[in-house]
């Protein structure tokens, strides 16, 4: 398979590009922030996503979805990133859907239609500390009656305060640091003894700190195998890491495009500042880093779609490379805009903030570089 978008994927990209730019441009995010919106995204927009068919991209046609793959999901995510659109798409249509694919037919029958229709939103309760360390999961899940009782804390749960469904990683055996003994749960939002504190993040999105104070769930809330949730969790994380890479690529590309345009418009000393070689070389270097990152993201998506054993390492490469390249994009973006780049009125600063959040989500560049090193035995 050639490493570029095929005709159908290109058509989908054009559709997503037009749709997201029209319905959820950067100004949409800004208006939610200015209104101090408590949800963090627009439910109307989420239903419009559903009408476009986007929500079911990874869901099989038998289950009412489009039966497409990670490349196609990434195409939509890139446009979300480019427009800084607040959306539960990554957590719901990628994360929860991939997790539930490892679950039971009943679980899929319960949630897939609601995701496809835009009725339900999901959140991923994985992290417990300030850094992404899924193997260090310590939240307890003890046998209780016919099910389990969950006790512990989760953080950085994007829109966890309003999600209808939570995908939760908890420990049914073993000790923190071990991959064995982790179990994935599908927890509905109305579960007793579950509380969420929404925190507004740097980029104006909302993530929840969540407390599970003996949350009781039935045995049928378990996704896949008890104690053997690592495989399903890894599969979900591979998908969300590739997805976060694609969204971040859109953020970086948006910042780069804005910056290159600015270099052509802004005049100082009587000439466009883009005629200065000092800035040209920096812009050209940035372009190179972004091109390399784009290749890595597409390669990881293609390998995920092919269910290739090399996919996991490719995802590490993609998330780390995109983190590095887009960090450069937003930093150069603000610097090359000069003083106006520091103002709230101008959008380039929002790109910097969004990049920072996506870079941290599901592991930063250091986390993934370390994982690659471990995989290579050093």
Partner 1 sequence: MTDLTQFRAETRAWLEENVPRSMREPVKSDADVNWGGRNADYSNNPDQKLYMDRMAARGWTVPDWPKAYGGGGHSPEETKIIREEMARIKARNPLNSFGISMLGPALLKYGTEEQKLEHLNRIARGEIRWCQGYSEPNAGSDLAALATSAEDAGDHFIVNGQKVWTSYADKADWIFCLVRTDKTTKQGGISFVLFDMETPGVSTKPILLISGYSPFCETFFDDVKVPKANLVGELNKGWDVAKYLLGHEREMISGMGLASTGRNPLIDGAIATIGLDHDGRLADPVLRAQIALFEVRARAFGMMSERFIDELKHGRAHPAQPSMMKYYGTELNKARHELMMAAGGSDALEWESEASSGGALPRAWLRTKANSIEGGTSEVQLNIIAKRILELPS
Q: Which residues of the shown chain bind partner 1 in the complex (CB under 8 A)?
A: 2-4, 260, 263-264, 271-272, 274-275, 277, 279-281, 283-285, 287-288, 291-296, 298-299, 313-314, 316-318, 320-321, 324, 365-366, 368-370, 372-374, 376-378
Q: Cβ of residue 138: shortest distance to partner 1, in angstroms?
A: 20
- Cβ-Cβ contacts under 8 Å for 148 (sequence gap 6 or more): 141, 142, 170, 172, 183, 185, 216, 217, 219, 221, 222
β pairing state of 206-218 and 222-223: unpaired
Q: How far is the CB of 230 from partner 1 (least distance, A)?
A: 19
Concatenate the DSSP letters of all residues of 112-148 into one string: HHHHHHT---EEEE---SSS--GGG---EEEEETTEE
Minimum distance from residue 311 beta carbon to partner 1 (Å)? 12
Which CB atom, from 243 or from 323, has the smaller least distance to partner 1? 323
Least distance (Å) between residue 269 CB and partner 1: 13
Structure tokens at 130: 């300030």
Comparison of 169 and 303: residue with beta carbon closer to partner 1: 303
Quick one: 276 or 346, whose CB is closer to partner 1?
276
Give the shortest CB-268-to-partner 1 separation in angstroms. 13
Using the minimum distance from each CB to partner 1, give the nearer residue, 115 or 249: 249
Q: Quote the least distance from Cβ 321 to partner 1, whole Å.
A: 4
Q: In sequence order, what are the beta bridge partners of 267?
A: 272
Nearer to partner 1, 237 or 321 (CB): 321
Q: How far is CA 95 from CA 101, 123, 183, 261, 334, in A?
A: 10, 8, 16, 35, 32
Residue by residue, DSSP assigns 244-308 as HHHHHHHHHHHHHHHHHHHHHH-EETTEEGGG-HHHHHHHHHHHHHHHHHHHHHHHHHHHHHTT-
Q: Which is nearer to partner 1, 339 or 378 (CB)?
A: 378
CA atoms of 135 and 18, how far apart (whole Å): 40
Minimal distance, residue 208 CB to partner 1, in Å: 31
Please, which residue, 182 or 296, has the CB nearer to partner 1? Answer: 296
Whether the Cβ atoms of residue 318 and residue 246 lie closer than 8 Å to each other: no
């Amino acid at each position: 398979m050639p490493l570029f978008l095929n005709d159908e994927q290109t058509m989908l990209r054009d559709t997503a590009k037009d749709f997201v730019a029209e319905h959820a441009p950067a100004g949409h995010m800004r208006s939610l922030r200015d209104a101090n919106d408590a949800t963090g995204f627009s439910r109307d927009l989420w239903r419009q996503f559903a009408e476009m068919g986007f929500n079911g991209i990874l869901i099989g046609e038998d289950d009412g979805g489009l039966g497409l793959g990670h490349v196609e999901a990434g195409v939509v995510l890139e446009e979300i990133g480019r427009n800084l659109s607040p959306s539960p798409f990554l957590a719901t249509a990628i994360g929860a859907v991939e997790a539930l694919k490892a679950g039971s037919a009943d679980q899929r029958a319960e949630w897939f239609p609601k995701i496809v229709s835009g009725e339900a939103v999901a959140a991923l309760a994985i992290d417990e500390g300030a850094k992404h360390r899924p193997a260090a999961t310590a939240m307890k899940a003890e046998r209780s009656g016919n099910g389990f009782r969950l006790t512990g804390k989760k953080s950085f749960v994007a829109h966890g305060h309003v999600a209808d469904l939570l995908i939760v990683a908890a420990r049914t055996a073993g000790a923190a640091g071990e991959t064995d003994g982790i179990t994935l749960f599908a927890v509905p939002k109305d579960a007793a003894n579950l509380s969420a504190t929404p925190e507004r993040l740097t980029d104006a999105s909302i993530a929840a700190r969540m407390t599970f104070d003996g949350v009781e769930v039935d045995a049928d809330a378990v996704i896949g195998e008890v104690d053997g949730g690592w495989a399903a969790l890894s599969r979900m994380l591979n998908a969300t890491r590739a997805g976060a890479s694609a969204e971040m690529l859109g953020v970086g590309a948006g910042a780069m495009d804005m910056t290159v345009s600015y270099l052509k418009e802004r005049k100082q000393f009587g000439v466009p500042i883009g005629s200065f070689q000092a800035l040209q070389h920096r812009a050209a270097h940035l372009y190179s880093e972004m091109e390399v990152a784009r290749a890595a993201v597409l390669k990881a998506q293609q390998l995920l779609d092919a269910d290739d054993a090399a996919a996991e390492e490719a995802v590490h490469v993609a998330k780390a490379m995109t983190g590095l390249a887009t960090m450069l994009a937003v930093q150069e973006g603000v610097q090359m805009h000069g003083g106006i780049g520091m103002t709230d009125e101008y959008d380039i600063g929002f790109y910097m903030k969004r990049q920072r959040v996506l870079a941290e989500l599901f592991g930063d560049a250091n986390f993934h570089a370390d994982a690659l090193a471990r995989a290579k035995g050093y």
